C-alpha cells in the first residue's frame, strides 16, 4: 500500500516541523523505518507519479518534454499524451501474483480514455485524472475536472465535488479516506491480496481541508490539510490492525515532490533545512519524507540512510509479491527488501532530472550539480519564485547555468542547504569527481530516452465529455482539434 501526496520533507514532526502536528505519521515512523534520504524522480507531480508506477525515470517512460531544455512538464487538461501502453505499471505486474489494485485520488498520467488507470492494470479507481484546479466557468471555455468511479465519471470538481476556494473547505479527503477504509475491509473480508495507491491531493494548491480540521493547525490552511492527512493515515493503519492484516501489509508513505514554495505561506509547506522547493532539482524540490511500516517484519524505530527513490517502490513491491521484475527494459528502481528487513545499505547514485536534462547526481553524501536553474528571469519578474528568501550565487540562478565541465559539488551531510560549494582545487573535490564521473558517463552513455509524451497540447482533448457524462447530463462540447507545441515555462 502506498500513500502518496505533495508534501515537503520538513512537514512532518519527525522531520522537524515545529508544530509537531503529525502524531500519527510520527508514530508510523516510530513503529517502522524512517528514510531521511529518499527522493522523487522529478521535482513535480506527473513525471514523479509515472516513475513510481513504472520504476523508471521519466526520461525513459516518456513523461518529459523536448520542447525546451530542462523544462518541467506535466499533464494539464490540454495535454495530448499520457502513459504509454508499453510501460508496465505496478498493478499490471501484481495481477500476475493474484493481486487486485485500486487507486484513490489523483492519477495524473494522462486523462484521455486510453491513459486512464483501468487501462493500465488498476481494477478500481475513485478520484480525478488531473489536479483539482478551478472552478472554471463556461466563459473560460475550460471544463471542470471530472471525478471518476472506476471507468465512468461521477461528477466534476466545484460542481458535484465542492471545494470552497475562499474558506478552503472540502470533504474530499474524508471521501478518499472512506474509500480507503472500505477497500481495505472488503479485501480483508475476502482474504484478497491487494495493492492500494492512496494518492490524495489536499496539500496541493488549491489547498483544502474538511470542516472539522479548518483552523485547527498552527500552520494555516496548509497545516489543516496536513493534520487531516495525518489523522487519515492513523485511521488507515488502525483499520489494517483491526482487520488483522497489518502484519501482511507493507505500507509506504512518501511524496511526489517538495513543498511548492511559490504558492506562499498559506498553500505551501516546509522543506525543512533544504534549498528551494517544487520544480527545482535542489534538495527542497526532490528530497521527500518517507516512512515504511510493516509490523512484525520491519523492526520498529529504525532509521535507514539508504539513498532511496520512489522508483524503488516498483521493484520492491514486485519483490515482496514474489515476482521477478521485467527484463526487457531498463529499470531505475532497486529492490529495497534487504534495506527494509535488515537495514542494509545498497550503494547507488540518485539522478536529479528536470525535463530532458540530468541536472545533478548524488552519490553517498556528495551531490554534483551539472546544471543549475531556479526559473527564468521572465517568470521570476512575474513574481514566480521557487526559492523565496534564498539566494546562492550561480546556484539558484534565473538563467540556466551549465557546469558540465566542472560540476558544483556540495557535501549534503555538513551542508544541508547546498550553500558551500567544495573548492574545485581541493583534494576532496577531485576525489569526489573521480567517483561520480564514471557513474554519470555510464548513465549518459546507456540511456535510451523514451518517446516524449508531454510535447503536444490541444484544447480539444480537455475533459469535455468523459465516459459516463451522458448519464449525468455533464457532457460538454469542446473545440475542434488544433494541436500546438506546449509551452513549459519552468
Computed over its alpha carbons, how large is the radius of gyration of the chain? 21
* Nearest CB to a copy of itself, comparing residues 220 and 326: 220
CA distance linking residue 99 with residue 243, whole number of Å = 18
Residue 291 CA to residue 201 CA, distance in Å, equals 18
The alpha carbon of 243 is separated from its chain's Cα centroid by a whole number of angstroms, namely 29
Collapsing DSSP to helix, strand or coil, 350 comes out as: strand
Residue with cell string 471544463: 143
Q: Spell out, one character per residue from 267 to 306, where the chain touches a copy of itself: x when CB under 8 A holds, - when not.
A: ---xxxx-x---------------------------x-x-
Does 369 bind a copy of itself (CB under 8 A)? Our answer is no
Q: Among 47-55, 174-182, 412-420, 429-437, which window interacts with a copy of itself (CB under 8 A)?
A: 412-420
Q: Can you tell me which of 76, 325, 326, 417 binds a copy of itself, judged by CB under 8 A?
A: 417
| Contact present, 172 and 162 (Cβ < 8 Å) | no
Question: Does residue 374 belong to the site contacting a copy of itself (CB under 8 A)?
Answer: no
Provide the minimum distance between the beta carbon of 382 and a copy of itself in the complex, in angstroms, as a whole number: 17
Minimum gap (Å) between residue 307 Cβ and a copy of itself:
12
Binding test (CB under 8 A) with a copy of itself, winner from 20, 69, 85, 96 = 20
State which residue, 84 or 223, has the beta carbon closest to a copy of itself. Answer: 223
d(CA 489, CA 391) in angstroms, rounded, equals 20
Tell me the closest approach of the beta carbon of residue 174 to a copy of itself, in angstroms: 23
Of the candidate residues 47, 62, 129, 223, the single one contacting a copy of itself (CB under 8 A): 223
- 100: helix, strand or coil: strand
The half-sphere exposure of 154 on its side-chain side, counting CA atoms within 13 A, is: 10
Is 234 a binding residue for a copy of itself by CB under 8 A? The answer is: no
Distances (CA, A) of 37 to 92, 157, 352, 363: 28, 35, 13, 11
Rounded Cα distance, 80 and 179, in Å: 30
Exposed/middle/buried for residue 323 (C-beta within 10 Å: 0-12, 13-18, 19+): middle
In the list 321, 365, 439, 447, the residue contacting a copy of itself (rule: CB under 8 A) is 365
Q: Smallest distance, Å, CB 115 to a copy of itself?
A: 36
Shortest gap between Cβ of 308 and a copy of itself (angstroms)?
13
Q: Is 218 in the site for a copy of itself (CB under 8 A)?
A: yes
Q: Is 18 in the site for a copy of itself (CB under 8 A)?
A: yes
- Angle 209-213-215 from CA coordinates, rounded to 5°: 100
Distance of closest approach, residue 343 Cβ to a copy of itself, in angstroms:
13
Alpha-carbon distance of 154 to 160, in angstroms, equals 8
Q: Burial-class residue 42 by CB neighbours within 10 Å (0-12, 13-18, 19+).
A: buried
The residue from 219, 367, 474, 490 that contacts a copy of itself (CB under 8 A) is 219
Locus of grid cell 473560460 = 140
Question: Is residue 257 a known part of a binding site?
Answer: yes
Q: Which of 413, 427, 448, 473 binds a copy of itself (CB under 8 A)?
A: 413
| Residue 45 annotated as binding site | yes
Q: Which of these ranges, 13-21, 68-76, 149-157, 160-168, lies near a copy of itself under the rule CB under 8 A?
A: 13-21
Nearest to 99 by CA among 182, 195, 197, 186: 195
Q: Are 208 and 2 in contact (CB under 8 A)?
A: no
Residues 207, 211, 212: CA angle, nearest 5 degrees: 115
460 binds a copy of itself (CB under 8 A): no
* Residue from 421, 385, 419 nearest 403 by CA: 421
User: What string marks each residue from 178 to 207 as x (binds a copy of itself by CB under 8 A) or -?
Assistant: ------------------------------
Can you read off the three cell numbers belonging to residue 352?
Answer: 536529479
Is 314 in a helix, a strand, or coil? helix
User: Which of 162, 349, 415, 467 forms a contact with a copy of itself (CB under 8 A)?
Assistant: 415
266 binds a copy of itself (CB under 8 A): yes
Task: State which residue, 144 or 217, has the beta carbon closest to a copy of itself.
Answer: 217
Query: Is residue 168 involved in binding a copy of itself (CB under 8 A)?
Result: no
d(CA 197, CA 180): 9
Catalytic positions, please?
45, 108
Instruction: CB nearer to a copy of itself: give 39 or 464.
Output: 39
Give yes or no for a contact between 104 and 199, defined as CB atoms under 8 angstroms apart. yes
- Site size toward a copy of itself, by CB under 8 A: 42
Binding-site annotation: residue ranges: 45, 256-257
Binding-site annotation: residue ranges for Ca(2+): 45, 256-257
Residues that bind a copy of itself (CB under 8 A): 10, 13-20, 34, 36-37, 217-220, 222-223, 264-266, 270-273, 275, 303, 305, 365, 388-392, 411, 413-417, 419-420
Amino acid at each position: 500500500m502506498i500513500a502518496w501526496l505533495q508534501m515537503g520533507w520538513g512537514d512532518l514532526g519527525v522531520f522537524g516541523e515545529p508544530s509537531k502536528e503529525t502524531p500519527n505519521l510520527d508514530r508510523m515512523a516510530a513503529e517502522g523505518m524512517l528514510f531521511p534520504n529518499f527522493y522523487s524522480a522529478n521535482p513535480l507531480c506527473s513525471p514523479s507519479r509515472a516513475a513510481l508506477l513504472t520504476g523508471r525515470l521519466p526520461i525513459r517512460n516518456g513523461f518529459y518534454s523536448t520542447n525546451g531544455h530542462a523544462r518541467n512538464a506535466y499533464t494539464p487538461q490540454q495535454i495530448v499524451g499520457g502513459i504509454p501502453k508499453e510501460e508496465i505499471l505496478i498493478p499490471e505486474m501484481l495481477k500476475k501474483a493474484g493481486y487486485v489494485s485500486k487507486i484513490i485520488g489523483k492519477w495524473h498520467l494522462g486523462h484521455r480514455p486510453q491513459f486512464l488507470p483501468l487501462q493500465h492494470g488498476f481494477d478500481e479507481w475513485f478520484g480525478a485524472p488531473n489536479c483539482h484546479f478551478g472552478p472554471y466557468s463556461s466563459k473560460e471555455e475550460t471544463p471542470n475536472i471530472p471525478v471518476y468511479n472506476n471507468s465512468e465519471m461521477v461528477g466534476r470538481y466545484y460542481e458535484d465535488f465542492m471545494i470552497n476556494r475562499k474558506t478552503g473547505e472540502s470533504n474530499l479527503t474524508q471521501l478518499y479516506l472512506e474509500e480507503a477504509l472500505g477497500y481495505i475491509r472488503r479485501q480483508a473480508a475476502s482474504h484478497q491480496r491487494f495493492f492500494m495507491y492512496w494518492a490524495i491531493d489536499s496539500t496541493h494548491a488549491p489547498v483544502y481541508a474538511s470542516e472539522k480540521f479548518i483552523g485547527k493547525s498552527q500552520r494555516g490552511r496548509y497545516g489543516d490539510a496536513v493534520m487531516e492527512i495525518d489523522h487519515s493515515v492513523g485511521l488507515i493503519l488502525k483499520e489494517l490492525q483491526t482487520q488483522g492484516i497489518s502484519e501482511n501489509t507493507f505500507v509506504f508513505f512518501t511524496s511526489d515532490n517538495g513543498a511548492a514554495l511559490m504558492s506562499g505561506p498559506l498553500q505551501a509547506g516546509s522543506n525543512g533545512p533544504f534549498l528551494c522547493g517544487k520544480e527545482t532539482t535542489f534538495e527542497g524540490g526532490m528530497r521527500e519524507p518517507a516512512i515504511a511500516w510493516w509490523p512484525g517484519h520491519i523492526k520498529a524505530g529504525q532509521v535507514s540512510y539508504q539513498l532511496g527513490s520512489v522508483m524503488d517502490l516498483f521493484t520492491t513491491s514486485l519483490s515482496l509479491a514474489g515476482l521477478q521484475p521485467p527484463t526487457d527494459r531498463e529499470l531505475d528502481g532497486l529492490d529495497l527488501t534487504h534495506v527494509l528487513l535488515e537495514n542494509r545499505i545498497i550503494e547507488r547514485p540518485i539522478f536529479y532530472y528536470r525535463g530532458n536534462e540530468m541536472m545533478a547526481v548524488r552519490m553517498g553524501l556528495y551531490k554534483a550539480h551539472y546544471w543549475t536553474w531556479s526559473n527564468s528571469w521572465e517568470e521570476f519578474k512575474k513574481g514566480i519564485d521557487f526559492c523565496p528568501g534564498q539566494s546562492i550565487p550561480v546556484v539558484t540562478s534565473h538563467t540556466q547555468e551549465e557546469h558540465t565541465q566542472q560540476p558544483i559539488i556540495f557535501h549534503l551531510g555538513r551542508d544541508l542547504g547546498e550553500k558551500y560549494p567544495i573548492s574545485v582545487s581541493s583534494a576532496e573535490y577531485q576525489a569526489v569527481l573521480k567517483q561520480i564521473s564514471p557513474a554519470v558517463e555510464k548513465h549518459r552513455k546507456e540511456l535510451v530516452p523514451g518517446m516524449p509524451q508531454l510535447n503536444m497540447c490541444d484544447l480539444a482533448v480537455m475533459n469535455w465529455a468523459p465516459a459516463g457524462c451522458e448519464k449525468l447530463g455533464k457532457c460538454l462540447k469542446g473545440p475542434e482539434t488544433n494541436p500546438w507545441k506546449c509551452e513549459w515555462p519552468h
